[in-house]
Structure 1
Amino acid sequence: MMINKDQLYRYHTKQRWKVFLFLFAALIAGASLFYTNYLVKSLSKSERTKAEVWAMSTKSIVTMPDVDDQFISFVYAVRDSLSIPAIITDEKENIIFWRDLDPNKTNIKGHVDSTNHKLEYDPIYFEKELAAMKRNHTPIALHLDTGEKWSVYYLDSTALRQLRIFPYLQLSLIALFLIIAYTVFNSIKKSEQNLVWVGMAKEAAHQLGTPISSLMGWLELVRTKFNAEEDSILNEMERDVKRLEIVADRFSKIGSTPTLTNQVVFDVIQEYIHYFRVRTSEKISFELTGDKTVEAKLNVQLFDWIIENLLKNAVNAIESEGQIIVNIIDNIAKEEIFIDISDSGKGIPKSNFDTIFQPGFTTRKRGWGLGLSLTKRMVDYHQGQIFVKESEIGKGTTFRIILKSNLRYEPTQV
Structure 2
Amino acid sequence: MNPYKYNKQAWKIILLFFAIVIGVASLLYTNYLVKSLSKSERTKAEVWAMTTRSIMTFPDVDDEFISFIYAVRDSLSLPAIITDQKKNIIFWRDLDPKKTNIQLEAERDSTLHYAPEYFEKQLYNMQKRHEPIVLHLDSGDKWYVYYQDSAALRQLRIFPYIQLSLIAIFIVIAYSVFNAIQKSEQNLVWVGMAKEAAHQLGTPISSLMGWVELIRMKYDAEDDTVLHEMERDVKRLETVADRFSKIGSTPSLHNQNVYKVVQDFMNYFKIRTSEKINFTLEGDPMVEAMLNVPLFDWIIENLLKNAVNAIDKEGDIKVVISENIAKEEIFIDISDTGKGIPRSNFERIFQPGFTTRKRGWGLGLSLTKRMVSYHKGQVFVKDSEIGKGTTFRIILKSNLKYEPTQV
TM-score bracket for this pair, using the shorter chain length: 0.7 to 0.9
Shifted more, 335-344 versus 273-282: the winner is: 335-344
Residue number among 218, 237, 243 corresponding to 2:236 in the alignment: 243
CA distance in 1, matches of 2:31, 2:118: 25
The answer to whether the 8 A contact 2:19-2:171 is kept is: no
* Matches for 1:281-320 after TM superposition, within 5 Å: 281-320=274-313
One-letter amino acid of the structure 1 residue matched with residue 52 of structure 2: T
* Matches for 1:70-81 after TM superposition, within 5 Å: 76=70, 79-81=73-75
- Verify: 1:47 aligned to 2:29, yes or no: no
CA distance in 1, matches of 2:123, 2:281: 76
Q: 1:31 to 1:348 in 2, by over 3 A?
A: farther
Residue number among 106, 109, 126 corresponding to 1:137 in the alignment: 126
Residue number among 40, 53, 64 corresponding to 2:58 in the alignment: 64
Shifted more, 381-390 versus 242-251: the winner is: 381-390
Q: CA deviation at 1:233?
A: 1.5
Matched residue, 1:98 = 93
Q: Deviations over 1:144-188 (max 9, x none)?
A: 899999886644212212212322232233333333333333333
Shifted more, 203-212 versus 336-345: the winner is: 336-345
The SS at the match of 2:275 is coil
CA distance in 1, matches of 2:4, 2:376: 31
Residue number among 261, 269, 275 corresponding to 1:276 in the alignment: 269
Q: CA deviation at 1:313?
A: 1.4
Matched residue, 1:341 = 334
- Verify: 1:82 aligned to 2:76, yes or no: yes
The SS at the match of 2:320 is strand
Q: Deviations over 1:194-228 (max 9, x none)?
A: 22222211111111111111111122222222222
Q: CA deviation at 1:72?
A: 5.5
The SS at the match of 1:285 is strand
Q: CA deviation at 1:35?
A: 5.4
The SS at the match of 1:156 is coil
The answer to whether the 8 A contact 2:46-2:133 is kept is: no
Residue number among 16, 19, 42 corresponding to 1:25 in the alignment: 19
How many residues are paired up? Answer: 386
Matched residue, 1:322 = 315
Q: 1:177 to 1:10 in 2, by over 3 A?
A: closer
RMSD: 4.0
One-letter amino acid of the structure 1 residue matched with residue 191 of structure 2: V
Q: CA deviation at 1:12?
A: 6.3
Q: CA deviation at 1:48?
A: 5.1
CA distance in 1, matches of 2:169, 2:106: 50
The answer to whether the 8 A contact 1:55-1:142 is kept is: no
Residue number among 156, 172, 196 corresponding to 1:179 in the alignment: 172
Q: 1:307 to 1:135 in 2, by over 3 A?
A: farther
One-letter amino acid of the structure 1 residue matched with residue 93 of structure 2: W
Shifted more, 57-66 versus 320-329: the winner is: 57-66
CA distance in 1, matches of 2:215, 2:369: 40
* Matches for 1:378-397 after TM superposition, within 5 Å: 378-397=371-390
Q: 1:340 to 1:55 in 2, by over 3 A?
A: farther
Q: CA deviation at 1:232?
A: 1.5
Matched residue, 1:412 = none
Q: Deviations over 1:251-304 (max 9, x none)?
A: 111121111123332222122111111111110011223343333322111111
- Verify: 1:399 aligned to 2:392, yes or no: yes
The SS at the match of 1:366 is coil
Matched residue, 1:208 = 201
CA distance in 2, matches of 1:292, 1:131: 83
One-letter amino acid of the structure 2 residue matched with residue 63 of structure 1: T
* Matches for 1:144-155 after TM superposition, within 5 Å: 154-155=147-148
The answer to whether the 8 A contact 1:296-1:405 is kept is: yes
Q: Structure 1-normalised TM-score?
A: 0.77
Q: 1:259 to 1:135 in 2, by over 3 A?
A: farther
The answer to whether the 8 A contact 2:205-2:237 is kept is: yes
The answer to whether the 8 A contact 2:19-2:168 is kept is: no
CA distance in 2, matches of 1:179, 1:264: 45
Return the structure number with greater relative CO, CA threshold 8 A, min gap 6.
1
- Verify: 1:165 aligned to 2:158, yes or no: yes
Q: Structure 2-normalised TM-score?
A: 0.78
Q: CA deviation at 1:43?
A: 4.0
- Verify: 1:230 aligned to 2:219, yes or no: no
Q: 1:387 to 1:93 in 2, by over 3 A?
A: farther
Matched residue, 1:411 = none
One-letter amino acid of the structure 2 residue matched with residue 326 of structure 1: V
Unaligned runs of 5+ in 2: 108-113, 401-407
The SS at the match of 1:364 is coil
Q: Deviations over 1:42-78 (max 9, x none)?
A: 6446535644553454244213335677875775465
Report runs of 4+ in structure 1 exceeding 6 Å deviation: 68-71, 89-95, 125-129, 141-151
The SS at the match of 1:262 is strand
Q: CA deviation at 1:307?
A: 0.6
Q: 1:66 to 1:27 in 2, by over 3 A?
A: same
Q: CA deviation at 1:94?
A: 8.0
Shifted more, 139-148 versus 314-323: the winner is: 139-148
The answer to whether the 8 A contact 2:283-2:322 is kept is: yes
One-letter amino acid of the structure 1 residue matched with residue 259 of structure 2: F
